[in-house]
Amino acid sequence: MLSRAGEPLFFARWDRAIFIHYEVDPVVLQREVPFPLDLREGRAYVSLVAFTLRRMRPRRGGRLAEWLFKPIASHEFLNVRTYVRHAGEPGIFFLAEWLSNPLSVRLGPRSFGLPYRFGRLRYAHDEEGEIFGSVTANEGRLTYRATMPSPSWAPCESASELEFLLERYTAFTCQRGRRRLFRVWHEPWPQVPIEIEVTADDLLAASGRWWRSAEYVGANFSPGVEVWMGRPHRIRA
User: Is there a domain that residue 120 lies in?
Assistant: yes
- What pLDDT score does 208 carry? 96
Full domain range(s) for residue 77: 10-234
Per-residue pLDDT of the chain (237 residues; tens, 9 = 90+): 444 656 899 999 999 999 999 999 999 999 999 999 999 999 999 999 999 999 999 999 999 989 999 999 999 999 999 999 999 999 999 999 999 999 999 998 888 999 999 999 999 998 777 899 999 999 999 999 998 877 789 999 999 999 999 999 999 999 988 999 999 999 999 999 999 999 999 999 999 999 999 999 999 999 999 999 999 999 986
Q: Which amino acid is it at 49?
A: V
Q: How many residues does the chain have?
A: 237
User: Is there a domain that residue 28 lies in?
Assistant: yes
- Give, as one character, the DSSP assignment of residue 68: H
- Answer whether 147's CB lies under 8 Å from 192's CB: no
- What pLDDT score does 151 carry? 76
User: Is there a domain that residue 5 lies in?
Assistant: no
- What pLDDT score does 1 carry? 46
* Residue 168 half-sphere exposure toward CB, CA atoms < 13 A: 24
CATH number reported for the structural domain that contains residue 46 in this entry: 2.40.400.10
Q: Residue 228, class by beta-carbon neighbours within 10 Å (0-12 exposed, 13-18 middle, 19+ buried)?
A: middle
